[in-house]
Each structure stands twice: as C-alpha cells, then as structure tokens.
Structure 1
Amino acid sequence: MHSKEPLVSVRVITYNHERFLRECLDGIMAQETSFPFEVVIGEDCSTDDTRLICQEFQARYPDQVRLLLHAQNVGAQTNARLTREACIGKYIAFCEGDDYWTDSSKLQQQVDFLEAHPRYVLCFHNCWMKFEQNPGKAMELFQTYTKTDYAIPDLIGKWLIPTASVVFRNQLLTNYPEWLRNAVVGDTPFFILLASFGRLKLLPGVMAVYRRHDSGATNQLHGYRYWERMIELYSAINKHFNDQYSKDINPILKWFHYHLTQLSLQQGDYPKYRLYAQRCLHFTKELLVRHQHVGLFHYRYTVLYLTAKSPLLFSARTRWQAKTKIL
C-alpha cells in the first residue's frame, strides 16, 4: 500500500455496471507500480447494485479508492467531467466501469514513457473488443494502426483512441470550453483539446478490453438530435481553433448533414430534408472548389440536389425507398 500523494489518478465512471464493475476494479488494483496511485470512481445513481460494489472496494482499499456518489443522476458527460476534475494525480488514466485492464504493468509502462518524453501529453495502446451480446464471437482489435505518433487532424471525426487505454498529463486544462462541457460525446473532443498541448503516442501491446453491449453508452445514440449535436460540436471545435482544421472538419460536417438527409427521407419530412440537403451541398461545393474534384456530379449528390428542389420528387423517392427497403 502506498502512503504518499498519488502520481496517477485512475478515473472510473460507472452506471448500471453491476455485471462488469468488479472485473474493472480488480484489473486496476492489480497494477504493479513503483509509484502510488488512486482510483476515483464517479457513480451516477445506478438502478442496480453498482453503488454497493463501489462501496465494497472503498472498504477494501480505503487509502486508494475515493467515491463520488451523486445524489441524483447527472448524465454520462457530466459524471465524466466531475470525476476527472476530482483527480489530483500528475497523470490521469481512464477505465470505464464496463471495461477492464489485462496487463498488470500497463500503468508503469505508460507513466515511464510520459516521464521520459515531456513533449507528449498522452499515450495510449490498442485494446480488444469483446462482444457481450455474442459470446461465441472472437474478440477483435479495436483498431489497426498505421503509425505511432498522432495529432489533432488524426482525431477529427474518428474514434481512434479507446478510452480504457489512455494515460495523460493532468492540469493542462484549467478552463473547459462550453462546447466540451455540452459535448454529446466526450472523450474524443477532450483528446483533441489535449492534443493542442503536445503529441500523442501509441505504445505497443494490447493491454485492455473494451466491451460492446446493448446498454453501452455508444449504443444509446441515435436520431436527429444526436447528429445535430455532433454538427454543433464539430462546428464549435472548428471555431475554437480559428478554422485551422477546416479542411479536416468540413468533410465531417458534410457527412453529418448527409446522414440527416437520410433520416429525413426515412421520416418523409421534406422541410428537414431540404434544409439538410442544402447544407450538405454547401459543404460539397466548398470541397469541390478546394480540391477541384467532380464529385458534385456523382449520382448520390445529383439525386440529393434534385430531390431537395422538388416535393414531388421527394415523395416519389420516399415511396421508392420504402418499397425497395434500401433504408
């Protein structure tokens, strides 16, 4: 047991993870380190026995485990931020309550790297994906990486870094921009902001497991409002960096608007379809000018343009789509 101030804070956020949480916390407490670390758990008013498990581990490790037990449900993003802000270590590691670490040297390896390489602000590693709804399916790697150094453009519009893999420098951010506080998804925007302070490094090895299951946070996102909030988020990121990354962000915004046209088509909502199609085509034209590409005349965008111009064509297309069950 370490008695000194923790060098690392492990942030765990959890909600209704009764089935998984013990494996998560066991993997953390199994870490073999030359430095002290703490575990800060944000429990968001679960409806199962998750809170009891948190209290059980605090009783077992009173000098290492701290609990943030919210009086009412605050939501995943607020819980993540409040728990992160409660971490006092020089470094912070993430592990959500339904994921788990598989290598007892994980923290030591990552902290050793960051201590030796001050220009890097975050390091991460690959993970296995475990498919809880299909126990017979073999685990797969989270990503196939093609390099080891990463920066902001690599992160835009991509889920590149598994949450359970990161260790990063604390106290780089003293003020959180409003767009990050309100983000519909939190980790990748947070990593983008961190990357404005330095480089990100992929370390070798696969040292954690990310669980895919129906009740996972990423499976709860759908509908108009999600994609609209993603547009708000990436527009705010672009503004935050004074349009420095427009060439990377605008294609993502175009794709979000195109996705909204397809939802509108499914719903038979012509006003929304027209609105999102016009915005999608705006980004397409902008990209054409920049890249001198003839993609605007691609079949998909020609149909998008014509359908947005005519309610009759829109109605015909919705009937055709429903009949052929393409969507």
Structure 2
Amino acid sequence: MHSEVPLVSVRVITYNHGRFLRECLDGIMAQETSFPFEVVIGEDCSTDNTRQICQEFQARYPDTIRLLLHAQNVGAQANARLAREACAGKYIAFCEGDDYWTDPTKLQQQVDFLEANPAYVLCFHNCWMKFEQQPDREMELFHDYTKADYAIPDLIGKWLIPTASVVFRNHLFTEYPEWLRNAVVGDTPFYILLASFGSLKLVPGIMAVYRRHDGGATNLLHGYRYWERMIELYCAINEHFKHRYSKEIIPVLKWFHYKLTQLALQDNDFEKYRHYAQRSLLFNTKMLLRYQHIGIFHYRIAFMGLTAISPLFFKVRVQRQVQNKA
C-alpha cells in the first residue's frame, strides 16, 4: 500500500462485472512497481454484486483504491470520463472490469518507456482474447500489427489499441471537446485526441486479456442510431482537425453510410436506402475528385448505385437477400 502521491492512476470502469471483477482487481494489485500507484474505480449502479466487490477491495487496500460510486446510472461514456478526470497520476492506465492483466511487470515496463521517451504520449501492447462461451479457445486479439509507431491516420475508423493495454500521459488537455463528451464510442476517439500531442508506441509482449462475453459492449446491436452517431462523431473529428485527415475520414464515412443502406435493405425501406446510398456515393465522388482515390468496396458501391435508382431494382435486391437467408 502506498500513501505517496501516485505516479500512475489505474482507471477501472465497471458495470455488472460481478463474475469478472475480482480477477481484474487481483491483476492490478499484483503489479510490481518501483513507484506508487492508485486505482480509481467508477462503478455505475450495477444490478449484481459488483459494487460489493468494489467495496471489499477498497477495504483491503484503503490507501490505493478510490471508489466513484454513482448514485444513479450515468452510462458507459460518462462513467469512463468521470473516472478518468478523477485520476491524479502523471500517467493513466486503463483496465475495464471484465478484462485483466497477466504480467506483474506491465505497469513498470510501460512507465519506464514513457519516462525515457518524452515524444510519446501513449504506449500499448497486444492482448489475448478469451471467449467465455468457449473457455478452451484463446487467441491474440490482433495479428496484423505491422509497425511499432502509430499516429492519428492509423487510428481513424480502426480499432488497434486494446483498452486494457494502454498507459498514457495525464493532463495533456483540460477541456474535452463536445464530440468526445458525446461520442457513441469512447476509446478510439480519445486516443485520436491524445495522438495530436505526440506519438503512440506498440511495446512488445502480450500482458493482458480482453474478455468476450454475452454482456460485453462489443455485443451491442448496431442500429440506425448507432451508425448515425458514428457519422456525427467522425464529421466532428474532421472539423476539429480542420479537415487535415479528410483523406482517411471520408472512406470511413462512406462505409458508415453503406452500413445504413444495409439496414434499410433489411427493413425493406426504399426511401431510407436511397437517402443513405446517395450520401455514400457522394463521399465516393469526393474521394475520386479531390484525392484521386479509387475508394473502397467498389462492387458494393456499384450495386448500391443501381439499387438506389428505382424501387424496382430495390425490390429485386430485397427478394435476393431474403432468398440468400432462406
């Protein structure tokens, strides 16, 4: 237990993680460090025994663990932000309540790197992916890392950084842009903002487990509102950076509109389909004219254009989709 000012704050956000939280907190408290650290837990009014586990660990480690026990459910993004803002350390590490760390030297390794390399604002590593429904199945979360240094263009529209892997510099900014406060997904937009202050480093090793389970955030259904909010988010990011990354953002916006056309196709809603198809084709034209970029999903774009011409083409496409599912 440490009574000194912590060098690192470990932010844990948790909601209905009663099955997993002890493993998460045990992995954090097992860290072997030459510096003091604190653990800031944001507990969002769980309906299981999550809050009791938080209080149990806080009683065991009163000098290390601080609890943010919300009086009412504030939602995942607000819980994450409030817990992050409560972190006092020079560095912040993330570990959500259903993930856990496996290497007791993880924090020491990452902090040593950041202390020695001031040009970097964040470092991360790969994780194992564990499937709760298939306990014998385990695999690396990402197989396709091709380099060690990353910047904003690498992050746009991609998930490259496991939440349980990051350690980053705190206090780089004091005001959160509105687009980040209201983001439908929080981590990647936050890393994009951090990357405007310096480089990101992939450090070697696999030092944590990302858990896949039925209650995980990645299993939420992606309906119209989800993709519309993703469009709003990336448009706002584009504005924030004064369109410096339009070449990377426009194909992502086109893909989001494509996803919306597929929802409209499933719902047999021609008007929505035509609206989203026209928007997607507009982004494709922008890429061609401004960047001489041939775009992505060429055959899909061609089919989309034909299907949006008339209700007849649309009806044929709907019927074909029904037949393919049969």
Under TM normalisation by the shorter chain, which class is it?
over 0.9
How far residue 103 of structure 1 moved from its aligned partner, in angstroms, is 0.6
How far residue 177 of structure 1 moved from its aligned partner, in angstroms, is 0.5
Consecutive unaligned residues in structure 1, runs of 5 or more: none
How far residue 35 of structure 1 moved from its aligned partner, in angstroms, is 0.6
Matched, 1:9 2:9: yes
Alpha-carbon displacement from aligned partner over 1:30-75 (angstroms, at most 9, x marks no partner): 0011110000000000010000000000000000000000011110
The match for 2:246 is: 246
Consecutive unaligned residues in structure 2, runs of 5 or more: none
The match for 1:191 is: 191
> What SS does the aligned partner of 1:128 have?
strand
How far residue 21 of structure 1 moved from its aligned partner, in angstroms, is 0.2
The match for 2:94 is: 94
The match for 1:85 is: 85
Q: Which amino acid aligns with 1:33?
A: T
**What is the aligned-residue RMSD (CA, Å)?**
1.5
Go from structure 1 to structure 2 and tell me whether the alpha carbon gap of 1:251 and 1:56 turns closer, same or farther (over 3 Å shift). Answer: same
The match for 2:322 is: 322
Alpha-carbon displacement from aligned partner over 1:133-176 (angstroms, at most 9, x marks no partner): 11132333334311100000000011000000000000012100
Go from structure 1 to structure 2 and tell me whether the alpha carbon gap of 1:258 and 1:207 turns closer, same or farther (over 3 Å shift). Answer: same
> What SS does the aligned partner of 1:309 have?
coil
The match for 1:148 is: 148
The answer to whether the Cα contact below 8 Å between 1:42 and 1:67 also exists between their aligned partners in 2 is yes
The answer to whether the Cα contact below 8 Å between 2:128 and 2:138 also exists between their aligned partners in 1 is no
Q: Which amino acid aligns with 1:44?
A: D
Moved more, 290-299 or 257-266: 290-299
How far residue 85 of structure 1 moved from its aligned partner, in angstroms, is 0.3
Distance in 1 between residues matched to 2:120 and 2:221, nearest whole Å: 32
Go from structure 1 to structure 2 and tell me whether the alpha carbon gap of 1:8 and 1:304 turns closer, same or farther (over 3 Å shift). Answer: same
Distance in 2 between residues matched to 1:33 and 1:52, nearest whole Å: 27
The answer to whether the Cα contact below 8 Å between 2:12 and 2:41 also exists between their aligned partners in 1 is yes
How far residue 303 of structure 1 moved from its aligned partner, in angstroms, is 2.2
The match for 2:72 is: 72
1:193-212 paired onto structure 2 within 5 Å: 193-212=193-212
Aligned-pair identity in percent equals 78
Go from structure 1 to structure 2 and tell me whether the alpha carbon gap of 1:4 and 1:296 turns closer, same or farther (over 3 Å shift). Answer: closer
Distance in 2 between residues matched to 1:152 and 1:221, nearest whole Å: 27
Distance in 2 between residues matched to 1:301 and 1:195, nearest whole Å: 32
How far residue 221 of structure 1 moved from its aligned partner, in angstroms, is 3.8
Distance in 2 between residues matched to 1:6 and 1:125, nearest whole Å: 23
Go from structure 1 to structure 2 and tell me whether the alpha carbon gap of 1:316 and 1:52 turns closer, same or farther (over 3 Å shift). Answer: same
Go from structure 1 to structure 2 and tell me whether the alpha carbon gap of 1:238 and 1:293 turns closer, same or farther (over 3 Å shift). Answer: closer
> What SS does the aligned partner of 2:308 have?
helix
Go from structure 1 to structure 2 and tell me whether the alpha carbon gap of 1:32 and 1:289 turns closer, same or farther (over 3 Å shift). Answer: same
Moved more, 152-161 or 132-141: 132-141
Distance in 2 between residues matched to 1:173 and 1:91, nearest whole Å: 13
Distance in 1 between residues matched to 2:300 and 2:17, nearest whole Å: 42
The match for 1:279 is: 279
The match for 2:45 is: 45
Matched, 1:303 2:303: yes
Go from structure 1 to structure 2 and tell me whether the alpha carbon gap of 1:59 and 1:240 turns closer, same or farther (over 3 Å shift). Answer: same
Aligned length: 326
Moved more, 132-141 or 237-246: 132-141
Distance in 2 between residues matched to 1:227 and 1:325, nearest whole Å: 23
Go from structure 1 to structure 2 and tell me whether the alpha carbon gap of 1:76 and 1:294 turns closer, same or farther (over 3 Å shift). Answer: closer
The answer to whether the Cα contact below 8 Å between 1:296 and 1:302 also exists between their aligned partners in 2 is no
Distance in 2 between residues matched to 1:272 and 1:214, nearest whole Å: 31
How far residue 287 of structure 1 moved from its aligned partner, in angstroms, is 1.7
Alpha-carbon displacement from aligned partner over 1:83-131 (angstroms, at most 9, x marks no partner): 0000000100000000000111111111111111111100111110001
The match for 2:174 is: 174
Distance in 2 between residues matched to 1:260 and 1:24, nearest whole Å: 36
The answer to whether the Cα contact below 8 Å between 1:288 and 1:296 also exists between their aligned partners in 2 is no
Go from structure 1 to structure 2 and tell me whether the alpha carbon gap of 1:238 and 1:109 turns closer, same or farther (over 3 Å shift). Answer: same
Go from structure 1 to structure 2 and tell me whether the alpha carbon gap of 1:195 and 1:292 turns closer, same or farther (over 3 Å shift). Answer: closer
Q: Which amino acid aligns with 1:163?
A: T
Alpha-carbon displacement from aligned partner over 1:264-300 (angstroms, at most 9, x marks no partner): 0010011110100000000111122245466799543
Distance in 2 between residues matched to 1:6 and 1:177, nearest whole Å: 27
The match for 2:128 is: 128
Go from structure 1 to structure 2 and tell me whether the alpha carbon gap of 1:228 and 1:94 turns closer, same or farther (over 3 Å shift). Answer: same
Q: Which amino acid aligns with 1:274?
A: R
Distance in 2 between residues matched to 1:225 and 1:8, nearest whole Å: 37
The match for 1:218 is: 218
- TM-score of the superposition, structure 2-length normalised? 0.97
Distance in 1 between residues matched to 2:143 and 2:175, nearest whole Å: 31
Go from structure 1 to structure 2 and tell me whether the alpha carbon gap of 1:310 and 1:80 turns closer, same or farther (over 3 Å shift). Answer: same
The answer to whether the Cα contact below 8 Å between 1:285 and 1:296 also exists between their aligned partners in 2 is no
Distance in 2 between residues matched to 1:248 and 1:272, nearest whole Å: 26
Moved more, 18-27 or 316-325: 316-325
The match for 1:32 is: 32
Distance in 2 between residues matched to 1:169 and 1:294, nearest whole Å: 38
